[in-house]
Amino acid sequence: MKKRIISIALVFFLCLMCLAGCSSNSKEEYTVYYLNIDKSVLVPKEYEVKSSKVDDIIEEMLGVLSTDTESPKYFQPIPNDVKVKECKLNEGNLIIDFSGDYYSIKGTKEVLTRAAIAKTMLQIEGVNKVTFYVSNKPLLDDNNNVVPSMTNESFIDSYGEEASFLAKKELSLYYATEDGESLICEKKVVDVDERISIADVVLDNIRKKPGVENARVAVPEDTRVLYTAISDGVCYVTLDSTLLTEKSDVSNKAIIYSIVNSLCDSADVKSVVIKISNNNAKTQQNNLDISGTYVSDKSMVVEVVSAKEMV
């Protein structure tokens, strides 16, 4: 009898150990929804929650939605100046009360901000709808009507399916010749994520090794693109200071028009405004002055290579 009791106790202990092990190792993944650079669509990113209780998960996710992504390609939906005053879950209804600064978010951006928050929070167990308040009062639209709560039925499209955002696009990308004095245009067909600004896609590609043997990148691969925006046919680009500090035997003009020609052709813009992040656009080595407004100039182009599909 004593041995049987010991055996039962041992089995019970082992079960507890297994359950404890499962509990400590189980981490749940959520999809956090951000805004793309143009604030025109949502960008889903996987996130592993650290909390386990529902109230703590809610607080953690709201914190993530309010935190700077440190990425030039997608942004937090809740701006820094908008604060979450209070949130409470009441019978499946998550009520989030924002500071009065929420009303500074206008138009499409506000709709997408609300969608990003709701789609993120509706994944949490027990959250069936999300209701928005501002300064202890229901959120109002531009006509002073109360904005209805959001549920999963509020969304008719699927932001989670990556493939639905991919489209093939032909890019005209300009690289330096081997001597660094002229340009070669390589036309490529690439898969473009339509949630990402086309300017970012172009700048991403001209910093990668070209497919043409006698061509080379004019813009160093480790140059960081800090900001891009397209407005009224003008593309605004801010780069970090790598161009000013990294040694290069590519001519200043080839560097500039690798960027400008690629953007004008592939992003369908008329001019490009370039800025350097440190506000000092000169380098001791090349005396490179890259800041300014430019239009396309094909006088340096010595070769055009036809489209080659890249997967």
At 11, the pLDDT band (50, 70, 90 cuts) reads very low
Quote the mean pLDDT of the chain: 81
Average pLDDT score over residue span 239-248: 75
Q: Which residues pair with 44 in a beta bridge?
A: 33
Q: How far apart are CA 126 and CA 268, in angstroms?
A: 47
Lowest mean pLDDT among 92-96, 150-154, 292-296: 150-154
pLDDT at residue 106, as a whole number = 86
**What tokens were used for 30?**
């959520």
Confidence of residue 165 (pLDDT cuts 50, 70, 90): low
Residue 24: the pLDDT is 34
Judged against a pLDDT cut of 50, whether residue 275 lies above it is answered with: yes
Q: Which of the listed ranges 13-22, 150-159, 197-206, 255-264 does the model predict with the highest average pLDDT?
A: 255-264
Q: Are the C-beta atoms of 67 and 83 separated by less than 8 Å?
A: no
Query: Which residues are CB-neighbours of 197 under 8 A, at least 6 positions away?
Result: 36, 37, 38, 73, 228, 229, 230
- Of 174 and 268, which is predicted with more confidence? 174
pLDDT for 189 beyond 50: yes
Of 4 and 209, the structure prediction assigns the larger pLDDT to 209
Which pLDDT score is estimated for 5? Answer: 45
Task: Tell me how far apart the alpha carbons of residues 84 and 117 are, in angstroms, rounded to a whole number.
Answer: 12
Check residue 131 and give its pLDDT.
96
Q: What is the DSSP string of the chain?
A: -HHHHHHHHHHHHHHHHHHHHHHHH---EEEEEEEETTSSSEEEEEEE----SHHHHHHHHHHHHTS----SSEE-SS-TT--EEEEEEETTEEEEEE-GGGGG--HHHHHHHHHHHHHHHTTSTT--EEEEEETTEE-B-TTSPBPPPB-GGG--S-TT-GGGGEEEEEEEEEEEETTSSSEEEEEEEEEEETTS-HHHHHHHHHTSPPSSTTEE-SS-TT--EEEEEEETTEEEEEE-THHHHS---S-HHHHHHHHHHHHHHHTT-SEEEEEETTS----TTT-----EEE----TTEEEEEEEEE--
Q: How many CB atoms lie within 10 A of CB 35?
A: 22
pLDDT > 90? residue 77: yes
pLDDT of residue 195: 64
**Does the structure show a pLDDT above 70 at 113?**
yes
pLDDT attached to residue 308: 53
**Is the separation of the CB atoms in 277 and 256 below 8 Å?**
no
Highest mean pLDDT among 15-19, 129-133, 268-272: 129-133
pLDDT of residue 8: 44
